[in-house]
Every structure is written in structure tokens, then in C-alpha cells.
Amino acid sequence: MIEILTNRLMIVPCSLDIAKSLIFHRKELEKRSPIGIPASWPSSIVKGFLPYYIEELETDKKDNDFGFWLIILYEEKKIIGDLVMEGRPIKDGTVSLDYHLDISKEKTTDETIAYEAIDALIDWLTYQKSVKKIVMECRRDQEQVIHLLNRLGFICQSKEGSFLKWEMQKRDNL
């Protein structure tokens, strides 16, 4: 199983067993898991994504590395969020990425953890031959997310209504 380690985080793909347990056996998973699971996690967006994710893993039987990843605060052994790749890279090598954090009200902590997690996953993605471009979206009023995406090296490519679409191209020399 793939594990991405940073100074504070462990980022791992969500297994089929954990995904099923989140839906069908949540209380049992919370009791038995050595990793703390916050009551408010996963987000409603991820909860809606889980049945699709489970179906994909059951029918495709491929690795779950292009899907739903858990962000674990290593020292506290606690899930603090997730990263979601909406499927495998499409024909042109594009991967759509989203993230959700459930850690604190303190904005600076959120941003540094988000930066560390997304940067680590982007680093892993740059070594995947099928990935050529990473795409993320946010609302125009999400100043903190806009600042984060700029720091990570994303470039705003389009504005559609109240949404901004950001892209990062993989350099050919990797």
C-alpha cells in the first residue's frame, strides 16, 4: 500500500474495507480503529462520493491510488481530512483534485496542513506517467484557498460564474 509521509502527515489511499465501513459500520470502525475518526468526517461531499468509489473498487479491482486519500495527523494518530481525485487521469492526462480538512478554526493551521498534504500528493502525482495536468476549483470568495493554490504553483485558467478553475502542468523533464 502506498504511504506518503511528510513532517506531520501520513497520506494513504482509502481501502475498500475502510470505505465500506464508513458507510455500513461506522460505529464499529470508530471503536476498533487505531486512528481517531472525527464525528464530522468525512464531509458531505465525500459521503456522496463513497458509494461511487466503492462501486469502482469492487468492479474495477484496480489499485485505489487514484481516488480517495486519508490525511492523518501522524503524531496524534487522527484523521484530519481527505484528498479526492475524481477518477483516473482522463485521456489528456488531467486529474481533478479536491481536498477537505476537519482540524481547527485556526486558519493558519488549516492552510499549512492543506499546503503540506496537497504538495505531497502533487509530488507523488508528478511521478505517475499518466498524469500531465492537475486541476482544482474554488469559489471566487475563498481567499484562503486562492492564496493556497497560488503558493502551490497553480495558475488560474478560467472563471465561470462564481468559480475559478486552477491548473498545474507537469514539466516534461520529470
Is 81 in contact with 99 (CB distance < 8 Å)? yes
Is a pLDDT exceeding 90 seen at residue 140? yes
Question: How many C-beta atoms lie closer than 10 Å to residue 145's C-beta?
Answer: 19
| Averaged pLDDT, 123-134 | 90
What is the per-residue pLDDT across 93-111, written as a single tens digit (0 to 9) for each? 899 999 999 865 544 466 7
Question: Can you tell me the distance from the alpha carbon of 132 to that of 129, in angstroms, rounded to the nearest whole number?
Answer: 8
Quote the pLDDT of residue 166: 97
Is a pLDDT exceeding 80 seen at residue 171? no
Is a pLDDT exceeding 90 seen at residue 118? yes
Nearest Cα neighbor of 73 from 28, 125, 38 is 38
What is the per-residue pLDDT across 19-47, written as a single tens digit (0 to 9) for each? 999 999 999 999 999 999 998 899 888 88
Comparison of pLDDT for 64 and 98, the residue scoring more: 98
Phi, psi (degrees; rounded to nearest 5) at 115: -60, -50
Long-range CB pairs of 144-147 (<8 Å, 24+ gap) are: 144/107, 144/110, 144/111, 147/111
Domains of the chain, earliest start first: 4-169 (3.40.630.30)
Q: Which three cell numbers stand for residue 132?
A: 500531465
Quote the pLDDT of residue 108: 47
